[in-house]
Amino acid sequence: MLDQPQVTNGLTGQALGRSFDILIIGGGSAGLTVAAMLRGKVKGSIAIVDPTDTNAYQPGWTMVGAGVFNLAQTIKPEAALIPKGVEWIKKPAASFDPDHNRVALADGTQLGYRFLIVCPGLQLDWGKIEGLTETIGKNGVCSNYRGDLAAYTWECIKSFKSGKMIFTQPPMPIKCPGAPQKIAYLAADHLRLTGKRAAAEIAFCTALPTLFGVVPFVPPLKAAMKRHGIEENYKTNLKAIDGKAKKAIFTVTAADDTTSEVVRDFDMIHVTPPQSAPDFLKGSPIANAAGFVDVDQHSMQHLKYKNVFSLGDAASTPNSKTLAALRLQAPVVVRNLVAAMKSEVGTASYDGYGSCPLTTDYGRIVLAEFIYGGKVTPSFPLDPRVPRYSSWWLKKDFLPFLYWQVMLRGIDLDIGHRERVFADAA
Ligand SMILES: Cc1cc2nc3c(=O)[nH]c(=O)nc-3n(C[C@H](O)[C@H](O)[C@H](O)COP(=O)(O)OP(=O)(O)OC[C@H]3O[C@@H](n4cnc5c(N)ncnc54)[C@H](O)[C@@H]3O)c2cc1C
């Protein structure tokens, strides 16, 4: 360990606290995974900075919102997940000083490092939708983007009798861009299974011009929308919400780029909040213009500060922000960081892999897997565009196991994925 005496940084005047060989900012899915992998590969000191009490398997929140999982199944105490031998500093980080290899915590403590891994995830900007913070979690306004609110989603769906349901999607970036539509399908399917479908009008309102960013998956998803009788509204961005009056105001952009305001009544609305890089990262020396950690999209190494790496939702890589992505980013970070520790150039390369299990029905999933460039790269030989029970099993039973028992134990399990081209793709 590089424990150093208290020294003073001439620039900030703040005393330098302790130093670590590897300092990890953010002990969420990415931070815990990469720490567990590093533990077996490096001898030096490793610390995770994160103020949280718990870690969540967030992909499970879609299933919580649909009544398949309960919330407790998706959450564990952070203390139980910090890998052995890794120190946990239970405080928020506040700023970066990469020219002096330092990170300042919110309480003013300065930590030094030889290598830094930055993975504080995405910030949920609830406040960007007028009226949302006042009404979220009541008045039929729910969201799977926070665990407790996902439990409320299920309350809303379960108790829905008749009327209007709306599901919204904000502009990118968001984590798991498929999640806003997954819960729309499941809500429609639940109403069908309970004989209430005819009493509901369901609308999906997305700020985006398309249903999904990887083109071959658009037709099967449009078919699911049609099958469930869900009205599709594109370039329709939630701007404000009045929970008590049960009204949602959208900005709609027309083909000629003119905009108008449309007010929709609802009995239940599932809101996906706008998202961005965490405020303490935005504008820092390690961030790009959009506020994300400015790394090479293949090596996950910072473009300017070669002892800085990033992965997960806070990285600037142009992949879909998913757990599946960081599962394959983590071993790349580890290999390239270990090489950098030996003053070698790492050759591990991330190909942009991401995955989105789209729950088109209870018991059926379109398993979208893809890499940079929108190329479809399934892990299995079946046509991934077809909704299947096997993929539902994967999401419900296997992937949570993969997270808690494999990823968070630092085991690099990659069954491989291969590009497939579909002649009949749109
Ligand atoms: C509803 C929903 C459905 C999803 N479905 C899927 C899916 O089906 N498949 C899939 O692959 N992915 C899915 N995802 C996305 C996936 O969960 C995320 O991509 C993944 O969790 C990102 O991991 P991360 O470590 O980057 O961020 P997080 O896991 O969010 O962790 C960030 C950590 O940083 C910490 N932090 C924040 N600020 C600071 C600070 N100032 N100082 C120190 N620490 C800080 C936080 O406390 C947190 O522990 C879904 C997400 C949601 C919300």
pLDDT in tens, 44-62: 999 999 999 999 999 999 9
For residue 357 and ligand 1, the question of a CB distance below 6 A is answered with yes
For residue 58 and ligand 1, the question of a CB distance below 6 A is answered with yes
Judged against a pLDDT cut of 70, whether residue 2 lies above it is answered with no
- As a whole number, the mean pLDDT across the chain is 95
Q: What's the average model confidence in pLDDT over 287-305? A: 98
Q: Which residues belong to the active site?
A: 176, 356
**Residue written as token pair 């999904």:** 212
For residue 28 and ligand 1, the question of a CB distance below 6 A is answered with yes
Using one digit for the tens of pLDDT, what is the confidence trace for 400-415?
A: 999 999 999 999 988 8
Tokens of 342: 């030996």
Contact yes or no for 38/27 (Cβ under 8 A): no
pLDDT classification of 268: cutoffs 50, 70, 90: very high
Backbone angles phi, psi at 21, to 5 degrees: -65, -45
For residue 400 and ligand 1, the question of a CB distance below 6 A is answered with no
| H helix and E strand count, the chain | 9, 23
Judged against a pLDDT cut of 90, whether residue 11 lies above it is answered with no
Using one digit for the tens of pLDDT, what is the confidence trace for 219-237?
A: 999 999 999 999 999 999 9
User: What is the pLDDT at residue 14?
Assistant: 63
For residue 312 and ligand 1, the question of a CB distance below 6 A is answered with yes
Q: Which ligand 1 atom is the nearest neighbour of the CA of 106?
A: 41
Pocket test for ligand 1, best of 95, 143, 176, 217 (most atoms within 8 A of CB): 176
Q: What's the average model confidence in pLDDT over 281-308? A: 98
User: What is the pLDDT at residue 415?
Assistant: 85
Backbone angles phi, psi at 156, to 5 degrees: -65, -45
Rg of the chain over Cα atoms, rounded to whole angstroms, equals 22
User: In terms of pTM, does the model score above 0.85?
Assistant: yes
Q: Which ligand 1 atom is the nearest neighbour of the CA of 78?
A: 49
What share of the chain has pLDDT > 70, as a percent?
96
Characterize 239-278 residue by residue with b for buried, 16 or more Cβ atoms within 10 angstroms of its Cβ, and e for exposed: bebbbeebebbbebeeeeeeeeeeebebbbbbbbbbbbbb
Nearest CA to ligand 1 atom 33: 28
For residue 321 and ligand 1, the question of a CB distance below 6 A is answered with yes
Judged against a pLDDT cut of 60, whether residue 6 lies above it is answered with no
Using one digit for the tens of pLDDT, what is the confidence trace for 360-396?
A: 999 999 999 999 999 999 999 999 999 999 999 999 9
Q: What's the average model confidence in pLDDT over 86-97? A: 98
Nearest CA to ligand 1 atom 17: 58
User: What is the pLDDT at residue 425?
Assistant: 60
Judged against a pLDDT cut of 80, whether residue 12 lies above it is answered with no
Contact yes or no for 179/94 (Cβ under 8 A): no
C-alpha–C-alpha distance, residues 31 and 46, integer Å: 11
For residue 48 and ligand 1, the question of a CB distance below 6 A is answered with no
How close is the Cα of 240 to the center of ligand 1, in Å?
25
Backbone angles phi, psi at 384, to 5 degrees: -70, -10
Nearest CA to ligand 1 atom 23: 29
Pocket test for ligand 1, best of 63, 313, 321, 402 (most atoms within 8 A of CB): 313
User: What is the pLDDT at residue 81?
Assistant: 98
How close is the Cα of 408 to the center of ligand 1, in Å?
14
Tokens of 21: 């060989």
Q: What's the average model confidence in pLDDT over 351-368? A: 98
User: What is the pLDDT at residue 426?
Assistant: 52
CB atoms within 10 A of CB 289: 9
Contact yes or no for 314/121 (Cβ under 8 A): yes
Domains of the chain: 7-54+76-123+276-341 (3.50.50.60), 124-271 (3.50.50.60), 357-409 (no CATH)
CA atoms within 13 A on the CB side of 217: 26
User: CA 313: distance to chain centroid?
Assistant: 6
Residue 213 exposed, middle or buried by CB count within 10 Å (0-12, 13-18, 19+): middle
For residue 59 and ligand 1, the question of a CB distance below 6 A is answered with yes
